[in-house]
Every structure is written in structure tokens, then in C-alpha cells.
């Protein structure tokens, strides 16, 4: 899919135009770019107007990728191609005949001469290197680390010019940070890359002064759930409200009021927020206006909404677990499209990376093909906790048995009883390990063995998160701790406020849930959210 993305809008091509340099762009994107200069937005090679015609074969590929039928080439076109091929064959035969005549004439010549072989002048290697097209330099340099690119800028003026190329740093930036804000740096991609690079290093050390903590206050009850996309965050609380926040400045955009019970679950799409409540209803809210677009509920139902999720292949649909029923809804019509036949009390619904629906009830852990919801693909033992990766599902049941199932077949890949260190409170799975919160500690587990122990909390671990180099854990001790994933050492701790219990107040809940992104650690503590931002301008 990456090959079919425009390098201006980073979307699938719309009426693609391919420049002489070989790079393609959406027609409207390149028309807009041509108003500022006539250089390829990717390789910076010059092109001229008028622009080439739409690349029809590429256009057809995009249409097919989108599922749009493309008419086959007309017979006239094929006939013309065949005629051209025949003409070329005839011309080639004539050329061969002429060559044979010339050879006969040469053989009959009385005098033969030795033609001297002229050796071409050897071109210096440095001249070849410095005469390469810019696109070749970009393709070479983009494989280097940022520090190596900066060092190459000291070699010569040509390398300095290449190492400062905006499109090279744009590629490096989106390679490191897919979602970023270069407009904050006047689209200076090198400066933006540097800023995020500094933040990434700061997140690995946690030195005081390298981050800023911003509390998001406004809820009067405990925060039960939260989620965020880019710089928009939604929080659901025991006070029956959902709040939408601007994460850049900590300001509240909307307070979504309409439920008569606590918010028990929520999820965001690019355009909507879906909230589930103890009042047995699910409400859809427009992110632009903050208004309710639809309310989903079963007639005469009084049971709480246990879980909900948007269909990962169609954000116009949402799956809900309300009471004992799991249903697929159209969010615009506000009607049930299909009731999913599950047994037992539903705990959670979600989608895996392949777009299959997972339902976890008191009776079964089930996986469903959204095209055939009459019967699950397979059912296994119910789980108290689970996590899905590309290759397998990891579950932990009430007997403390950890099991890995193949996502393709549902076959058991591993099944072992965990050590009796305490209650298993949370888990996150990756392709190479399972991170578990058990008692006061965090453990890295795989193939029946504890690989690493992360031990420093003074109370029960309630949530974990993991990236490629670090493990994050939130605990009842009111801290978030960050660990080196490789050796298990604690890098630093982020404090979540005082543990002092004041008269008339409930004891602190500690860190109930946490998330991280490229430059921030986000944790929920009782009735507020704390964001630790490591990208300080």
C-alpha cells in the first residue's frame, strides 16, 4: 500500500500523474505544488509544464485496490499493438537481411584492415558519485541514522546540500514518527525530527526538567476509561459524563452530557466518540460539534454496557455488549444490523489486527468472521484477560493458566500454569514475549519461562504498556514506573500525586490505566488524567 501513496498527502493516489523523474502524485496535489515551484516534491528534480497525462495503468491499479471494476482494454488497442509488433518483426527481418549482405561484401573485399580499439577514458569514482541524481542520494541517505547523515554533511559541500534536503528529513521523520506536527516548525522537517528525537531520548532517561506534567481536571468522579487519537483525548467517568480534551493545551473542548449512569466504556473513531453507560445505552457523539448523533439501546434492557468497539473495517458500525447480548449496529440508522449468538455473560468485545471480532464471555473466548456471523470460527476456554497479536491470542483464565492460540487456526501453541506470585491483573503481548502484572511486580514471560522481572512497586500493579525498548507499569502505589525492556532495570518513576488519605475522602486509586505515544506518557489517577510530555520546545 505504501507504493500507492502520494508523497504530498500520504493518501492513495487520486488521478495519479507520474513525472519524468518517475515519482507519482495525485493530480490536485501536484497542481497545487506546481504553483510554488516546478521541482518534484520528493526528489526535487525539475519538471516542466504542462503536466503529463494521468497514468492510466496506475490509476487502474488504485481503482482495483479500492474494489472498483476497471474495463479491460478495447480490442482495437490490442489489434494496434499486434500490428505494431508485426511491423517491428518485419523491420527486424529486413535489418537482418541487410546485415547479411554487408557481411558478404566484407568477406569479398581483397584488403582487410585492423581497426584499432579505442579505450574509453576512465571516469574518476568521485566524479561518478557526485554526478548521481538527487533521487539516488535520497534513497541511499535515508538508510543512515540521523547522526550519520549529519556527519556526512562535513565531508563536502555536495553532501552538505543532500544532508539538508527537506524531503530526506521528511522521510526520516515519518519513518520515526508517523503522526507528528511539522507545521509547528514551519514545515522544517529536520528541526521537527530533532525535536522528537530529543523527546525520545528524554523518555528513556526521565531526568527532572526534561518533561512537563499537565493535569487534566474536570471530572467529579473516578475516571473509568480513556482513549486518545493524536492530540484529541476522550475520558469517561463515574460522574456520567464524557469529556473531550485538547491534549496540546490541556483545555476541555466538550463535556458530553446525556447518560444517566456511569460511563463504563468508550472508543473513538476519526469522526465520533462512542460511550457506553451503566444506564444500558450507547451514545454516538460528533467530534466536531459535541452533539449526540444517535443512541443505541435494547428495548426494556436495564443491564450495563460491558464493552463496545468500532468495526475496524467499517467505522459506520459498532459492536456492543449490553447485558447478555452482543450486537452489531449501524451508527447512522441507530438500528441493530445483526445479533451475535453468544452464550454466557459478555465481558469484552474487540477486533484483532486481521479485522476479526473477538467476544469474551463467561462461557467462551470466541473469534468471528464479520462476513459470517452465524457461527464463530472457533471457541476456546473463557479468559479473565487476553491480548491479540498478528500471530496469536494470549489468554489467562481463572486457574492462572496462560495459553497461546494460533490466530489462523485456533490451535493451542502453548499452555502453562503461571507461578503463584499473586493475582494476574494485566497483560500485554508482543511477538516475542508476554508482559504480565502479577502482584507488586511485572514479569516478561515466554514459552513457559519468566525471562525478566521488573520489581520495584510497593503496591499491586494495575496496568502495563510496552514499546520496542521500554516497559511502563502503573500501580496502586500512585506511580508509573518505566523500565529498560532488555535488562529489567528501572529507568525512572513518574509520581501521580500524594498517597495521603484525607478525612472524608476515599483512598487514592493509584494509576488505573496508562498509554504512551512518541513523546508522552498518559495515566489516569482517580478523577484526573496526568500527561507527562517529554517534547518541550
CATH of the domain at 36: 3.30.40.10
- Per-residue CA distances from 389 to 8, 430, 492 (Å): 32, 6, 28
Whole-angstrom Cα distance, residue 529 to residue 242?
Answer: 13
Last residue of one domain, picked from the residues 50, 65, 80: 65
Cell of 76: 482495437
Give Cα 407 distance to the centre of its chain. 20
Give domain status of residue 181, yes or no. Answer: yes
Nearest by Cα to 303 from 331, 319, 283, 281: 281
Nearest by Cα to 522 from 532, 536, 535: 532
Answer for the pair 381, 344: CB distance below 8 angstroms, yes or no. Answer: no
pLDDT, one tens digit for every residue, the chain (537 residues): 335 777 677 678 889 888 765 678 899 888 888 877 676 775 455 677 888 888 887 788 788 777 787 765 444 444 444 444 444 554 455 555 455 444 444 444 444 445 455 555 566 766 666 677 767 777 788 788 888 888 888 888 878 888 888 878 887 887 776 656 777 788 888 888 888 888 878 888 888 888 999 999 999 999 999 999 878 999 999 999 999 999 988 899 999 999 999 999 999 988 899 999 999 999 999 998 999 999 999 988 889 999 999 988 888 899 999 988 999 999 988 999 999 999 999 999 999 988 899 999 999 999 999 999 999 999 999 999 999 998 999 999 999 999 999 999 999 999 999 988 888 999 999 988 999 999 999 999 988 899 999 998 999 999 999 988 899 999 999 999 999 998 899 999 999 877 666 666 677 889 999 999 878 999 999 999 999 999 876
Cell of 214: 499537565
Whole-angstrom Cα distance, residue 323 to residue 321?
Answer: 6
Nearest by Cα to 218 from 241, 187, 198, 249: 241
Q: Is 216 helix (H, G, I), strand (E, B) or coil?
A: strand
Whole-angstrom Cα distance, residue 434 to residue 443?
Answer: 8
DSSP character string of 241-273 = EEEEEETTTTEEEEEEE--SS-EEEEEE-SSEE
Answer for the pair 402, 413: CB distance below 8 angstroms, yes or no. Answer: no
Domain total of the chain:
2
Looking at residue 152, what DSSP letter applies?
A: H
- Per-residue CA distances from 392 to 275, 364, 407, 428 (Å): 29, 17, 5, 12
pTM for the full model?
0.71
Whole-angstrom Cα distance, residue 225 to residue 274?
Answer: 12
Looking at residue 117, what DSSP letter applies?
A: P
Cell of 101: 549482405
Give domain status of residue 168, yes or no. Answer: yes
Give domain status of residue 381, yes or no. Answer: no
Give domain status of residue 170, yes or no. Answer: yes
Answer for the pair 136, 160: CB distance below 8 angstroms, yes or no. Answer: no
Last residue of one domain, picked from the residues 24, 42, 65: 65
Based on DSSP, count helices (H) and strands (E) in the chain, helices before strands.
Answer: 9, 34
Cell of 200: 525520545
* Cis-peptide, bond into residue 374, ω within 30° of zero: no
Whole-angstrom Cα distance, residue 507 to residue 459?
Answer: 13
pLDDT of residue 1: 31
Whole-angstrom Cα distance, residue 38 to residue 135?
Answer: 16
CB environment 4-38: b (16+ within 10 A), e (fewer)? eebbeeeeebeebbbbebebbbbbebbeebbeeee
pLDDT of residue 291: 94
Whole-angstrom Cα distance, residue 223 to residue 304?
Answer: 17
Give domain status of residue 385, yes or no. Answer: no
Cell of 285: 457523539
Answer for the pair 508, 499: CB distance below 8 angstroms, yes or no. Answer: yes
Answer for the pair 365, 356: CB distance below 8 angstroms, yes or no. Answer: no
Give domain status of residue 218, yes or no. Answer: no
Give domain status of residue 178, yes or no. Answer: yes
pLDDT of residue 2: 37
Cell of 74: 478495447
Q: Which residues contact 292 (CB under 8 A, 6 or more apart)?
A: 256, 258, 283, 284, 285, 286
What angle do helix axes 166-176 and 134-141 make, rounded to 10 degrees?
30
Whole-angstrom Cα distance, residue 523 to residue 520?
Answer: 10
pLDDT of residue 45: 57
Last residue of one domain, picked from the residues 36, 65, 94: 65
Counting other chains too, the contacts that 427-434 makes at CB distance below 8 Å and 24 or more residues apart are 427/385, 427/386, 427/387, 427/394, 427/396, 427/464, 428/387, 428/464, 428/465, 428/466, 429/387, 429/388, 429/389, 429/392, 429/394, 430/389, 430/466, 431/389, 431/390, 431/391, 434/387, 434/394, 434/402
What does the chain come to in residues?
537
Looking at residue 318, what DSSP letter applies?
A: E
Q: Which domain holds residue 161?
A: 143-203
pLDDT of residue 257: 96
Answer for the pair 195, 535: CB distance below 8 angstroms, yes or no. Answer: yes
Give domain status of residue 45, yes or no. Answer: yes
Amino acid at each position: 500500500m505504501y507504493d500507492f501513496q502520494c508523497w504530498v498527502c500520504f493518501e492513495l493516489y487520486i488521478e495519479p500523474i507520474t513525472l519524468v523523474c518517475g515519482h507519482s502524485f495525485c493530480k490536485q496535489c501536484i497542481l497545487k505544488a506546481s504553483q510554488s515551484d516546478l521541482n518534484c516534491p520528493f526528489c526535487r528534480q525539475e519538471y516542466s509544464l504542462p503536466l503529463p497525462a494521468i497514468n492510466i495503468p496506475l490509476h487502474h491499479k488504485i481503482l482495483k485496490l479500492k474494489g472498483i471494476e476497471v474495463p479491460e482494454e478495447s480490442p482495437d488497442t490490442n489489434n494496434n499493438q499486434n500490428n505494431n509488433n508485426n511491423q517491428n518483426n518485419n523491420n527486424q527481418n529486413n535489418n537482418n537481411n541487410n546485415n547479411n549482405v554487408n557481411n558478404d561484401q566484407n568477406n569479398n573485399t581483397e584488403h582487410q584492415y585492423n581497426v584499432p580499439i579505442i579505450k574509453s577514458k576512465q571516469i574518476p569514482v568521485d566524479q561518478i558519485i557526485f554526478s548521481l541524481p538527487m533521487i539516488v542520494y535520497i534513497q541511499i541517505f535515508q538508510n543512515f541514522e540521523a547522526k550519520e547523515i549529519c556527519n556526512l554533511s562535513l565531508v563536502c559541500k555536495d553532501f552538505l546540500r543532500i544532508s539538508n534536503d527537506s524531503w530526506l528529513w521528511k522521510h526520516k521523520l515519518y519513518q520515526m514518527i508517523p503522526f507528528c506536527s511539522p507545521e509547528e516548525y514551519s514545515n522544517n522537517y529536520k528541526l521537527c525530527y530533532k525535536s522528537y528525537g530529543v523527546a525520545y531520548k528524554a523518555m528513556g532517561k526521565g531526568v527532572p526538567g526534561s518533561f512537563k506534567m499537565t493535569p487534566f481536571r474536570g471530572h467529579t468522579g473516578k475516571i473509568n476509561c480513556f482513549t486518545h487519537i493524536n492530540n484529541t483525548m476522550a475520558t469517561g467517568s463515574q460522574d456520567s459524563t464524557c469529556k473531550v480534551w485538547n491534549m496540546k493545551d490541556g483545555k476541555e473542548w466538550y463535556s458530553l452530557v446525556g447518560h444517566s449512569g456511569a460511563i463504563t466504556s468508550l472508543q473513538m473513531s476519526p469522526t465520533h466518540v462512542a460511550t457506553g453507560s451503566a444506564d444500558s445505552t450507547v451514545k454516538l457523539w460528533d467530534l466536531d460539534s459535541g452533539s449526540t448523533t444517535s443512541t443505541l439501546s435494547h428495548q426494556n434492557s436495564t443491564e450495563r454496557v460491558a464493552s463496545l468497539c468500532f468495526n475496524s473495517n467499517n467505522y459506520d458500525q459498532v459492536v456492543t455488549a449490553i447485558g447478555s447480548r452482543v450486537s452489531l449496529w449501524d451508527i447512522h440508522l441507530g438500528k441493530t444490523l445483526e445479533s451475535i449468538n453468544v452464550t454466557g455473560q459478555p465481558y469484552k468485545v474487540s477486533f484483532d489486527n486481521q479485522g476479526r471480532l473477538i467476544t469474551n464471555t463467561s462461557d467462551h473466548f470466541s473469534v468471528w468472521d464479520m462476513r459470517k456471523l452465524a457461527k464463530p470460527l472457533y471457541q476456546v476456554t473463557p479468559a479473565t484477560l487476553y491480548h491479540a497479536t498478528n500471530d496469536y491470542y494470549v489468554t489467562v483464565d481463572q486457574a492462572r493458566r496462560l495459553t497461546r492460540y494460533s490466530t489462523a487456526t485456533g490451535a493451542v501453541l502453548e499452555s502453562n500454569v503461571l507461578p503463584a506470585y499473586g493475582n494476574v491483573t494485566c497483560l500485554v503481548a508482543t511477538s516475542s514475549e508476554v508482559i504480565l502484572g502479577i502482584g507488586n511486580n511485572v514479569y516478561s514471560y515466554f514459552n513457559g519461562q519468566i525471562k525478566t522481572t521488573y520489581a520495584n512497586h510497593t503496591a499491586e500493579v494495575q496496568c502495563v504498556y510496552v514499546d520496542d525498548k521500554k516497559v511502563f507499569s502503573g500501580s496502586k502505589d500512585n506511580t508509573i514506573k518505566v523500565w529498560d525492556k532488555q535488562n529489567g532495570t528501572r529507568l525512572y518513576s513518574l509520581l501521580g500525586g500524594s498517597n495521603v488519605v484525607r478525612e472524608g475522602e476515599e483512598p487514592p486509586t493509584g494509576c488505573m490505566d496508562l498509554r504512551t505515544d512518541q513523546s508522552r506518557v498518559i495515566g489516569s489517577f482517580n478523577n484526573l488524567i496526568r500527561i507527562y510530555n517529554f517534547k518541550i520546545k
